[in-house]
Structure 1
């Protein structure tokens, strides 16, 4: 029986090639998107799930409850030691200090090799490897990192630095200062972890690199790169530990700080997704992608049902003959299911090929390393089997039931009508569903693109064009000043500033502020911008009261922004000039007030900011250049910088490129939604084309009669177009509120955002109408131009 089903199914598909091709292409596109999104969601949900005791691993985080709540993934450096000394609820406690950018050199090599390492180097306590499952391949687990000046590296780093030579016993040098002996080799770190450090240095050397941070009394310094992890005992709960931390803050912090500071635990499975604590992936975005994938698969299935029910009329006599010959509804139902299964399996095979080809682009877009392997990936293989079954029964059940219920007499007489297969009512609903989904995606694309354009073109309150950033690798004051002067003399350079960070940055220092003779700090924090006297000129900041900073190497005076004046309840910027403030551990007069500027992304409001001089905190040369001279200027910068810092690696970055990173995730989402919207429209148009072709076939004689009676080509086109035009408009009525709700919630993440204006929604419906009209017109024009004599002779 099954063999017969397949044989008949192949014969029918061969007889209706166009119908089969449209369905296979539509289903393949929808399933491809479903596969890629499933792989992406599964990849992110698997983060750090491979650790043996993942359910008992927690990170200690900090919250500052002041004017608003500030969430900080880091903790004070002494906290880990204090937890060990005071509590017994953890099996292991480990501190780790990650480094954003480090120079690693190999002093033992004939030619000294230098490597710029981005976020791959960390100072870690040995207990870190008792908590996390990063296997040691070579070395002694009991003694690794227990001694100062020792390091362990991954297989990848061992091959990178030493090639085929034995890495154990070799020396690596940290920032041209401290030598570390390699005592262990780790297995390469998996891709699905947030802890991607590949060089671990002994925590005992933290005091050499960060003397202030490493002090046991540095309770007021909280950095996101300084983290503490606990492996709780099996009987201990998160709630118990959080309660203990209440008294913990009171014991080690000053009374005023203890009132506003809270330490709490964050589960390991929350770290990757919690954006409050700098999580890399917003869980809401993943579920949004999953929903889009579901929509696209549903759209493809709707397409299939739509075409299949239309095709049923052409098979009415076949069904009548089968029933007269003894065929029962069950057999007819399974016959159609077998045809659906054949189309679905062809589509899944095509989708697997497309997904395999598209995966490298997805990995580039998200910076992931997902692999497509149905042989070893049980989850993916299971998903494909389940998806195939769902698509087969979702797409095939209704048409199969429609076929099975035909009355044989009516079928053989050829009197089966639209009413017998659900009429246009069902297909109207299905077409509306398809185009509603398409319009939701189009509106989402327009809104996100508009918000990104708004973020890119809106005045930030400072100049971002033509600013080139070069690193300051050491705090050698003489070298800084020498290079500053040499850079300023390069043709095309308009000004040069040495600073910690540009006005807007993802790296910000927050500190308390005390005004005038007050005995307590204000209940809000201020953003510290360490910079020289050329900072205001270089970035085009606007002084609205007082003067600029005088040249100095140390913090002696301050320039603040308008937000500070407002928060201190002063009447005008002039009122703060000459007043004393204490901020960043220094006391001095406010000598100037600058106009507000955006110091972070548009997701955040403009914060209170102060500028002050402090050469020990400078990390960047900011160079304003005439873009017409940019190319020769960059070549000159390379030469001058390398001559000044020969032991370091030269690099540069344009400020506007750095600022664009604020919106990396949004741009990624935009690109994906653009692709999904195009695919949804393409699937819808394929279905629309198939339906128009079917209508043209069913209305052949009607078209011939109309033409004989004088109907024009435009009248015939309108015969086809008015029906689907109404359906597109109804789809818009459904899509508009859904899209508004989704985009309203998206825009709420931005403090500064576009308005959801009517033109966005009108654009979406116009785009859909134009595309669907082109699809309808192509096939209807062909029908309208047909010879009416041949049309009237058709059976």
Structure 2
């Protein structure tokens, strides 16, 4: 019996090959999208969950509650925090301090000295780091980090520095200041981690390499220095946080009310953007939803085409019932047909997902793999997806067919209720295009916002500015570097500074204006020399540029700070004294700058101070009149002359700014891709329905042509029924699209408006694609010779 059912199913699928192909492609595309999204979501949800103590590991973060009512979220911590917490709280089991620092490493290999600029893979830490985070030890142990000038490397960095030989006991040199002995080697970290560190340097070494730092200052909080702890039990978290106000009062005195310490779950570190997360948790939810929607659209196509075909196969079903087959057997016969298609579709979808995964990996800079035999979660998902598709796509059509009255079916008097505007089939078409419209509208807004951020006037010049690192701030070397670079014909100006505008939010703190008390707001500070204004094309609205100085003497402020101070005009601020809290010095305001973006476009314009402080300079900005390979080589030669022990590396300012908005680029690519997939799936289903509808009305079309109807008139008549459904979808989906667009834009201080044109474009695109899909079949039907059609009738 099963064998005969299978033969019947295969013959039926082959006989209706057009519909079979449409269903197969639709299901395969929808399932492939769902599989890729599942792998992407699984990756993000699994980041750093593999650590043994993940459920009781936390980052200690602090929220600064300022007097003006604002709150600044800070993931960094003071140097003393980790050891103090472990000493004073019995339920703190381990505490690790992580100091991230760009470091130049020199390693000798086979008689050759090599230099490496390690920008992101070096961390200064203590032995507790390896108690909190799990690493497999190849040789050595974490106790080595208790002593100065000790280091631990991963296997890949051992190979990088020393080839395939044993790294244990070998020596590397950091920043040309300290020799480090390799005291341990650990296995490479897995893909699913945010702690992508390969060189672990003992914490006591940090004080030798960076001696001028506020190690004992509790107010010195740096985003590049983090504290992680493990508690003896997850239940201790509430008790720990309850004691934090008293703790802050003990170490900060009256200012303790500003510092609100709390614990951030390790699982939240990857998602919380306020503390430097990688991706918003809501984005993962949206991706999951899109994956489900793609499968639903594919299933809706299947249901529509299957129920449409059912009435063509009614006589076949009627005869089978008369010959003794039961209603349940008919039901399972059609479920079997769906299952065969679903299995074939999933096989194709796995191939498609496997081919697309590398492309997605390049887009998002992650290694998304599809290895079903070694991935039980993916295997389970594929099984669940297959079952879900079979049940959702197969049950309703099978139920409809199995309930046919055999007598009416044989007589051919079964009819669809095609006149019901809210029929199931029409409702599914409306749902499909509603989803497609929302995705098109949202992806259009993301593209517009991304372009807006790239092209927005930031209040400065960002073109042809080359950024160089400053390994040290020796006055003689900086002067020589400036003189020699300025002598190059391509160099029009250059500036030394800590960080460039619009690339990185600078430091800041409280300020005192004249004889007033401390202001209730925080002002951002930028350490930069007197050439900063000209190099970056900043605009002075009052006063002059500061005179050359190595330390804070004269300073510039922006319009936002003038307004925050309650002054009537920029001129009113000139020649007034301002004490800068984070510098601990007082200077004279000699100029007021027009507002420029201090950080990225996610945040608004902030009160800003620009002052000289040579000890803080970390970079040089070189303004060029033209650039080519020879220019870079000449600049490198000058730079290398002053810093021969360091690695030359450069970036262009506009490229650095663009990197801040990679998240939007990624969102643009993903939403556009999945929007196109949803539209293709919807149109694929519409294409099949159009074929079926035209087949049902072929006699009517022929009669109309005989009576004089034009090809254009017939095409319009056939297309309008489907176009009405698309327009209904646009009306229903517009408020939903607006809601999601409005929510997404809340992350940006500077954003585009949600204009009616976005909805018009999305609606026009959805309707246009649907019209082309249906119109093709309509024109084809209208061009058929009516005599041939009526002859067949």
Q: TM-score, normalised by structure 1?
A: 0.97
Partner of 1:352: 350
* Pair 1:455 & 2:453 matched: yes
* Pair 1:70 & 2:72 matched: yes
1:387–1:302 distance in 2 versus 1, CA, 3 Å: same
1:384-463 paired onto structure 2 within 5 Å? 384-419=382-417, 425-463=423-461
* Pair 1:660 & 2:662 matched: no
1:160-239 paired onto structure 2 within 5 Å? 160-213=160-213, 215=215, 217-234=216-233, 236-239=235-238
State the Cα deviation string for residues 38-71 of structure 1 (Å, max 9, x = none): 1111111111111112111111111100031101
Structure 2: state its 5+ residue gaps: none
Partner of 1:335: 333
Distance 1:690 1:425 in 2: 17
1:80-91 paired onto structure 2 within 5 Å? 80-91=82-93
Distance 1:418 1:636 in 2: 80
Partner of 1:113: 114
Distance 1:111 1:54 in 2: 42
Distance 1:405 1:73 in 2: 63
Partner of 2:559: 562
C-alpha displacement of 1:631: 4.5
State the Cα deviation string for residues 92-129 of structure 1 (Å, max 9, x = none): 22212122x22111146522111121211111110111
SS of residue paired to 2:173? strand
CA contact (8 A) 1:139 1:184 kept: yes
For residue 97 of structure 1, the aligned residue among 96, 99, 102 is 99
1:711-730 paired onto structure 2 within 5 Å? 711-730=709-728
Partner of 2:371: 373
CA contact (8 A) 2:505 2:598 kept: no
* Pair 1:688 & 2:689 matched: no
Distance 2:418 2:96 in 1: 71
Distance 2:733 2:191 in 1: 38
CA contact (8 A) 2:55 2:234 kept: no
CA contact (8 A) 2:109 2:163 kept: no
Partner of 2:780: 782
Partner of 2:297: 299
Number of aligned residue pairs: 789
Structure 1: state its 5+ residue gaps: none
CA contact (8 A) 2:542 2:591 kept: yes
Partner of 1:751: 749
State the Cα deviation string for residues 601-648 of structure 1 (Å, max 9, x = none): 221110111111112211222122234x44442332233223332222
Distance 2:9 2:235 in 1: 61
Distance 1:116 1:8 in 2: 68
CA contact (8 A) 2:505 2:599 kept: no
1:756–1:301 distance in 2 versus 1, CA, 3 Å: same
C-alpha displacement of 1:414: 1.6
C-alpha displacement of 1:2: 3.3
**Between 644-653 and 164-173, the greater mean CA deviation after superposition:** 644-653
Partner of 1:671: 669
SS of residue paired to 1:112? strand
Distance 2:553 2:733 in 1: 59
SS of residue paired to 1:61? strand
Partner of 2:46: 46
SS of residue paired to 1:372? coil
Distance 1:166 1:738 in 2: 60
* Pair 1:592 & 2:591 matched: yes
Distance 1:489 1:638 in 2: 14
1:598-747 paired onto structure 2 within 5 Å? 598-627=597-626, 629-747=627-745
* Pair 1:153 & 2:150 matched: no
Distance 1:325 1:420 in 2: 30
1:340–1:108 distance in 2 versus 1, CA, 3 Å: closer
Partner of 1:513: 511
SS of residue paired to 2:661? helix
SS of residue paired to 1:436? helix
Distance 2:177 2:126 in 1: 21
C-alpha displacement of 1:582: 1.3
Distance 2:296 2:325 in 1: 32
1:631–1:158 distance in 2 versus 1, CA, 3 Å: closer
SS of residue paired to 2:503? coil
SS of residue paired to 1:494? strand
CA contact (8 A) 2:56 2:234 kept: no
SS of residue paired to 2:510? strand
Partner of 2:5: 5
SS of residue paired to 2:374? coil
* Pair 1:503 & 2:501 matched: yes
* Pair 1:534 & 2:535 matched: no
Partner of 1:574: 571
SS of residue paired to 1:314? coil
C-alpha displacement of 1:540: 1.0
Distance 2:266 2:212 in 1: 29
CA contact (8 A) 1:219 1:253 kept: yes
**Between 522-531 and 230-239, the greater mean CA deviation after superposition:** 230-239
State the Cα deviation string for residues 494-529 of structure 1 (Å, max 9, x = none): 2211211111122421222121123x4222221111
CA contact (8 A) 2:167 2:182 kept: yes
C-alpha displacement of 1:186: 0.7
1:420–1:461 distance in 2 versus 1, CA, 3 Å: closer
1:108–1:296 distance in 2 versus 1, CA, 3 Å: closer
* Pair 1:544 & 2:541 matched: yes
C-alpha displacement of 1:421: 12
Distance 1:2 1:389 in 2: 20
Distance 1:375 1:572 in 2: 70
Distance 2:197 2:311 in 1: 64
Distance 1:526 1:209 in 2: 30
Distance 1:502 1:246 in 2: 36
Distance 1:658 1:5 in 2: 63
1:235–1:504 distance in 2 versus 1, CA, 3 Å: closer
Distance 1:648 1:167 in 2: 22
CA contact (8 A) 1:309 1:421 kept: no
Distance 1:607 1:191 in 2: 37
Distance 2:110 2:146 in 1: 26
C-alpha displacement of 1:235: 7.3
Q: TM-score, normalised by structure 2?
A: 0.97
Distance 1:414 1:637 in 2: 86
